[in-house]
A and B are shown apart, each in its own frame.
Chain A
Amino acid sequence: MLSSFIFLAVCFFLYHAVAVFGVASYSVHPCSQSFFIQKLTPKDRTTGKCQNIIIGDPVYFNLNTQRTFNSATMEITYKNSGFNKIMEVGILADARKNYRLQPLDNIILDNLDWSMIEANGVYLLQREKKYEEVAAFLNDATKNDSSMNKQEVLTYFYDLPAMEILPATMSSSVKNKKEIQTIENNLRGSYQFYTYTDNGTFAFHFSFHDLNINKDPDDVVITVYNAKGEVINRQESKDQIGREESRKIIEINDLSIEEQNLNNGFYKIEVAANDDIVTTRISFDKEIVSFINRLWLSSDDQNTSTTLFTDADEMTFSTINPQALQKIKINGDDFDLNQTYRQFFALADKKINKIELTKNDVIISGQGLFSFNQKNLYNLNYHKLSSHTNLDGINYIITTYKPAHLGEWRTKTLTFNLKDAFRYNNNYGFIISIPGLISDDDINDNIEIGDISVKLNGRSLWEKLTAS
């Protein structure tokens, strides 16, 4: 009889490991332990008896599964203390720790009493009702010669097609610029920027050095994308492995991107490198060079001052270098960067904000574009709604988030595609992001997480066998 129990136990373990029918479901209560849905980390951003009250952004948790699945439907119960306007949940997409976020809670949209229409899961909120159908709005928004003012539209988890060519008024100011410009500020690690050509050519020249701090190979890859996101050029500089972790700075091969016979329009250039690589110089022959979302200003001489321009209305500043602590000026107002290894959250209220740093080695990030010269800054995308966006002058918001008036405790369901999610040690990584929630500020704000349940769907054993 005891051997039958062992046999049954083995069958039970195998059945759950294989998930014969391709489905599995797991759930966890705030105070219970689950092998599958693990606790929120890091612990210094959570509080409460069960460590389920989030006080700092972001927090992470892992979903451990014995096999791969195609999709996960996650139901989360949570309570917002009221101060946090936006809450997003994402799945780890790649080894570089990029997450694909989805909206969970948006108090700004929930409380907006604008007219709302919906089509195929896309919601259009209008201050004054002008459009009867979402399709009519999209038609207006995507036409190049549209009368719609881009400045009166916000997007939230919906990508309106970016502008392909500059409006005629802007185009004349960038036309036929032949002079070579340079960015001498040192940029550490990866970054990406938009540029624009109106004569079918552009030329960028990059110089680098390698700090040799980390043990990983320090390759540099530059990729050029057109407006459709297609790769049109790729240049690579392979690391001469051997002096990793020596902390000896060495110059590595320069890389050049020279394009001809291009269609006029915007292009995105991505420089992918690890944090050992510092770009020491970028020279270019174009007017628009707008860095996207994040820059790490690095310098051998930390006392070099830098001025940046951005259209982001929320920014974070951080540094790992005690010598880089300083008072940053944002539109002339002082902002204290007074601690290392901590993200400082700053707000700015102008369309173009000026940031002045007296020392470098600071990481700056925000939902927007950055440039070293105001002339270089141009955002081809529609502005995205963030937790502190000023809605004055905004008449339309297009989103895939469904605004709803719910109670104090809310339960919402999100579906994640796991096929192209990053999986390590049998774990899918998740992030809960609450922009602006800082653990050690003076505001008593938090998000309390209740139950989390996940339903997983994948191929059944039969489908796997017949497919192979």
Chain B
Amino acid sequence: MLKIIIQETYYALTAALTIFIIMEIIRPNIVQAYLSLNLLLILWLINVMLLLVLRNE
């Protein structure tokens, strides 16, 4: 169950990060004005690490 949640979160964060970065490229600060992409990237990295740990178990 936990693995499914983390996997779904991974898809969502990856999609969000990709969309937001594309939006930032098209119009700078459109996302950064409200949400730090650095923070989102850290969350994504933590999520990826958890996913890798769970996959190896």
Known A-B contacts A13-B34, A16-B34; A2 and B12 likewise in contact (beta carbons under 8 Å):
yes
Q: Is the CB of B27 within 8 A of A17?
A: yes
Minimum distance in angstroms from B19 CB to a CB of chain A = 6
User: Considering the complex, which residues of chain A in the window 63-82 have a beta carbon less than 8 Å from any beta carbon of chain B?
Assistant: 64, 66
Q: 10 closest Cβ contacts across the A-B interface?
A: A2-B12, A35-B33, A17-B30, A6-B16, A13-B30, A13-B31, A6-B15, A2-B8, A10-B19, A17-B27
Residue of A nearest to B13 (CB): A2
Q: Write the chain B residue with the least CB distance to A6.
A: B16
CB within 8 Å for A36 and B33 given contacts A13-B23, A17-B27: yes
User: Closest Cβ of chain B: how far from A18's Cβ, in Å?
Assistant: 10
In the bound complex, CA of A390 to CA of B19 (Å): 63
Q: Which of B1-45 contact A (CB under 8 A)?
A: 8-9, 11-12, 15-16, 19-20, 23, 27-35
Q: Which residues of A contact B (CB under 8 A)?
A: 2-3, 5-6, 9-10, 12-14, 16-17, 35-36, 64, 66, 426
Q: Which residue of B lies closest to A17 (CB)?
A: B30
Interchain CA distance A10-B20 in the complex, whole Å: 8
Residue A66 contacts which of B11, B15, B30 (CB distance < 8 angstroms)? B30
B12–A5 touching, CB < 8 Å: yes
Q: How far is the CA of A49 from the CA of B52 in the complex (A)?
A: 44
Q: Are A6 and B33 in contact (CB under 8 A)?
A: no
In the bound complex, residues from chain A placing their C-beta under 8 Å from that of B19 are: 6, 10
Q: Which of B11, B16, B29, B34 has the most CB of A within 10 A?
A: B29
Closest CB of chain B to A284's CB: distance in Å? 51
- Docked Cα-Cα span, A16 to B29, in Å, equals 11
Q: Is the CB of B34 within 8 A of A12?
A: yes
Closest chain A CB from B26 CB (angstroms): 10
15 contacts between A and B (CB under 8 A): A2-B11, A6-B19, A9-B20, A10-B23, A12-B34, A13-B23, A13-B31, A14-B30, A16-B33, A16-B34, A35-B33, A36-B33, A64-B29, A64-B33, A66-B30
Q: Beyond A2-B9, A9-B20: 11 further Cβ-contacts under 8 Å?
A: A2-B12, A3-B12, A6-B12, A6-B19, A13-B20, A14-B30, A16-B33, A17-B27, A66-B27, A66-B30, A426-B29
Shortest C-beta distance, B33 to chain A (Å), equals 5
**B11 cross-chain contacts in A, Cβ below 8 A:** 2
Closest chain A residue to B11, Cβ basis: A2
Closest residue of chain A to B8 (Cβ to Cβ) is A2
Give Cα A74–Cα B27 distance, bound, in whole angstroms. Answer: 26
Closest to A26 in B: B33
Distance of A6 Cα from B28 Cα, bound (Å):
18
Q: Would you give the shortest CB distance from A63 to chain B, in whole angstroms?
A: 12
- Distance between A8 CB and nearest chain B CB, rounded to angstroms: 11
Listed residue (A6, A14, A35) with the most chain B CB atoms within 10 angstroms of its CB: A6
Bound CA–CA A310/B12 (angstroms) = 69
Q: Give the CA-CA distance A22 to B22 in the complex, in Å.
A: 25
Among B23, B33, B34: residue with most chain A CB under 10 A: B33
The residues of B that contact A16 with a CB separation of less than 8 Å are 33-34
Residues of chain A within 8 A (CB-CB) of B33 are: 16, 35-36, 64, 66
A5: B residues at CB distance < 8 A: 12
**Is B27 a contact of A35 with CB atoms below 8 Å?**
no
Question: Which residue on A lies nearest to B27, using beta carbons?
Answer: A17
Q: Which residues of B contact A35 (CB under 8 A)?
A: 29, 32-34
Q: In the bound complex, how far is the Cα of B11 from the Cα of A5, in angstroms?
A: 13
B16: chain A residues within 8 A (beta carbon): 6, 9
| In the complex, chain B residues whose CB is within 8 Å of the CB of A64 | 29, 33
Which residues of chain B have C-beta atoms less than 8 A from A66's C-beta? 27, 29-30, 33
A430 to chain B, nearest CB (A): 18
User: What are the residues of chain B within 8 A of A3 when measuring CB–CB?
Assistant: 12, 15
- Chain B residues, Cβ within 8 Å of A6: 12, 15-16, 19
**Which chain A residues lie closer than 8 Å to B20 at the CB level?**
9, 13
List, in ascending order, chain A residues with CB within 8 A of B9's CB.
Answer: 2
**B15 to nearest A CB, angstroms?**
6
Output the least CB separation between B22 and chain A (Å).
10
CA distance in complex: A10, B16 (Å): 9
